[in-house]
Structure 1
Amino acid sequence: MTLFHHNVAFNPHPGKGELSVLFSGKAQTKPLHKVGPQVLDYYLVHYIVSGRGTFRCMGQDYQLKQGNSFFIFPGDLVSYASDSEQPWCYRWIGFKGNRADEYLHKLGITQHHPVNVTKQHRKMNALFHQLEHKLHDRQPHSDMQSEGYLRLILAEYAQDLHETSVPAKEVPAIQQQIELAIRWLTLQHNQPISIEQMAQSLGYHRTHLSKMFKQHTGMSPMNFLLKIRMERARLLLQESLTVDQVASSVGFADALYFSKQFKKWFGRSPSEYRQDQTTNPYDCSE
């Protein structure tokens, strides 16, 4: 669906340390604008500037409004949609880092507790805006500057975490098993894996696991694996890789078969998609 207004800025040289910003943006969505279900391989935080909407993660729905934030972790199945009457406007930051998970858990932000309420609305909105502005500048030190703003934002979340965070409900054991299955598929997506291997690894019979998986995700494990691979391929096509290399990187030994599957999924061949996606390699964050 088309957005009323959409800005995005990218970090041309993201670092590989504790925290690194990949991109940042802002969007005013249309009523009922929906993203997902999808699985990402980076962290993504949305801060709601105005309006309302619903965020779904780990089988739980969160009704969110101005001042709320929601976090997406790599490997999690999520979706979110704006309200029909008060569609939300939000800012977002995509990031990665070898200590990102640790920092978020220290703030009490986890896959089962992915929502935060901010007291200082104006300050938080300004910090998100300043981070995006630094990326638009494309200065030599924009990576370090944007990382600094991300740390300031996380510090703001830390200040009033215990008083205002939205409580999480207890997650059923079966949902935790599906989460493990999703993570297993996400981590192994570039390997020639089978559902039998996944079932054996998780200690379930293949048929039982497949039935549980479809009940909770709406997709069979193999279709979900294909979705992960296609989403990953879409990102890799933004890099200086051949189609053969992209196919191999997402678990396809046959590049021709990969191209056919990609066209079925996105309606365009990998080469056509690459030509069309020259400005927004992380468009799934809209």
Structure 2
Amino acid sequence: MENAMYLLKQPKNYEDLYFSFCGFSKTQPKHSFGPAIRDTYLIHIVLEGKGYYSIEKQNYYLKSGQGFVIPPGIPTFYQADNEEPWSYVWMGIGGNKIVYYLEKLGIDSRKLSFDIKNIEDFKSIVFQCLAYEKDNLINEITLQKQAYNFIELLSKSITSHKHFVSTRKMNSYVSKSLEMISKYAQYNISVGSIAQKLSIDPSYLSRLFTADIGVPIKKYINEIRITTSNDLLTSTDYSISQISEMVGFSSTQAYSKAFKQFNGVSPSIYRKKRIGFEIDIK
């Protein structure tokens, strides 16, 4: 469970840097999100509590006063701590310059987490953005400015980790499974077919996967398909039946059922509701 507020806008014709989405979440113990694949850089600032996220064969354990970046095109999963669940704000930022700015701040594929000062200032920027949900020119310009403000504040506040950040390597079978799922999730991939490719017992693979990632492998595959379809619903004009086929479901009915279980609404309602601002309680 989480209490979440978010704002999503369709990308405009901005090349250098543009606001894509932002939000705030206050999670319940063990609440998880993902697996998900993003199409822009997503920057999280942890306000309270702690949790972990999995990316690129590694688990990172973070807490209040720290942040992490999720690059586009890479499946990620994150989960709140059981005793001290985290709350965080986030902003999705795209454009040609975002990689340049992040690299200048020391953030790249080898270093995706950091310590941060002035966490309340980040919360303030995100909550200011939430007030600009209407589609008009003034709000559009304001949100683009807030994306730059967010990066400016990051440059003033970011520091290298002062304390050791706990990380843990994934089991090799799990990391290989993630690679296969990332490449072939839209096809008829299954736990059995992955286990056969890896020459390992399916039940044993499932136990390893759940221990490292936090969710069963079958659920992970389905959620990769669903979160991929989320982006297709809000950023393309493909029909629901076309999207269902594109993300690997056997039928539109099976897709709609799985989608509603994951998102709480049907694909058609999701497509309408995600354009703009809403309060979502999961």
Q: TM-score, normalised by structure 1?
A: 0.68
1:11 is the counterpart of 2:9: yes
Aligned partner of 1:96 in structure 2 is: 94
Looking at both structures, which has the greater relative contact order when contacts are Cα pairs under 8 Å and sequence separation is at least 6? 2
Kindly state the Cα deviation for residue 228 of structure 1 after the two structures are TM-superposed: 0.6
Matches of 2:225 and 2:96 in 1, distance apart?
23
Counterpart secondary structure, 2:77: strand
Gaps of 5+ in 1: none
Change (3 A) 1:141 1:170: same
Matches of 1:31 and 1:84 in 2, distance apart?
9
Kindly state the Cα deviation for residue 80 of structure 1 after the two structures are TM-superposed: 2.8
Aligned partner of 1:79 in structure 2 is: 78
Change (3 A) 1:251 1:105: farther
Identity over aligned pairs, percent: 19
Aligned partner of 2:67 in structure 1 is: 69
Deviation string for 1:20-79 (max 9, x for gaps)?
32222234x265262324223243222234x322233344342411x3323333423321
1:186 is the counterpart of 2:185: no
Which of 238, 242, 247 does residue 245 from structure 1 map onto? 242
Query: Root-mean-square deviation (CA), in Å?
Result: 4.4
Q: Name the stretch that deviates more: 179-188 or 69-78.
A: 179-188
Change (3 A) 1:83 1:147: farther
Amino acid at match of 2:246: S
Q: As a proportion of its length, which structure holds more strand?
A: 2
Matches of 1:62 and 1:164 in 2, distance apart?
12
1:206 is the counterpart of 2:198: yes
Aligned partner of 1:217 in structure 2 is: 213
How many residues are treated as equivalent by the alignment?
Answer: 273
Change (3 A) 1:206 1:100: farther
Change (3 A) 1:159 1:13: closer
Kindly state the Cα deviation for residue 215 of structure 1 after the two structures are TM-superposed: 5.5
Change (3 A) 1:129 1:208: same
Aligned partner of 1:157 in structure 2 is: 154
Deviation string for 1:123-172 (max 9, x for gaps)?
44443344444x33543154454333323323433345454566556764
Counterpart secondary structure, 1:136: coil
Change (3 A) 1:153 1:76: same
| Contact 2:115/2:160, CA 8 A, preserved across alignment | no
Matches of 1:266 and 1:124 in 2, distance apart?
27
Amino acid at match of 1:242: S
Aligned partner of 2:145 in structure 1 is: 148
Counterpart secondary structure, 2:133: helix
Matches of 2:119 and 2:214 in 1, distance apart?
36
Aligned partner of 1:226 in structure 2 is: 222
Aligned partner of 1:109 in structure 2 is: 107
Change (3 A) 1:113 1:281: farther
Counterpart secondary structure, 2:137: coil
Gaps of 5+ in 2: none
